[in-house]
Amino acid sequence: MICCCTEYEAGRLGRFLFETLKIPCYWKSDESIYERECGNMPGFAVYYRYPNSQHVTYSQFIKVSS
């Protein structure tokens, strides 16, 4: 995909990826940040269909994002 982009488009794609991945990197930086911002969010449920199920722990998040 990047091979068929102009220099301008590649720069925009790079900026998009940087901004998209900046937030998960911030969550990964500290367990207290992860717990405060993600701990009870329904999108972090282990089984998304059941939002009240167990949530992804910090250690599980680190394993997935590494």
Tens digits of per-residue pLDDT, 3-59?
Answer: 788 889 989 999 999 999 999 999 999 999 999 999 888 888 888 788 778 999 999
User: Is the pTM value of this prediction over 0.85?
Assistant: no
d(CA 6, CA 13): 10
Question: How many domains are there within the chain?
Answer: 1
Q: Residue 19 carries which side chain, given as an amino acid letter?
A: E
**pLDDT number for residue 48:** 78
What range defines the domain where residue 34 resides?
22-66
Return all residues near 65 (Cβ < 8 A) that are at least 6 apart. Answer: 24, 28
Confidence of residue 2 (pLDDT cuts 50, 70, 90): low
Q: 16 in a domain, yes or no? A: no
**pLDDT number for residue 50:** 80
Confidence of residue 1 (pLDDT cuts 50, 70, 90): low
Q: 47 in a domain, yes or no? A: yes
Rounded to 5 degrees, what are φ and ψ at 17? Answer: -65, -40
Place of tokens 């199920």: 53
How far does CA 17 lie from the centroid of its chain? Answer: 11
Place of tokens 């449920």: 45
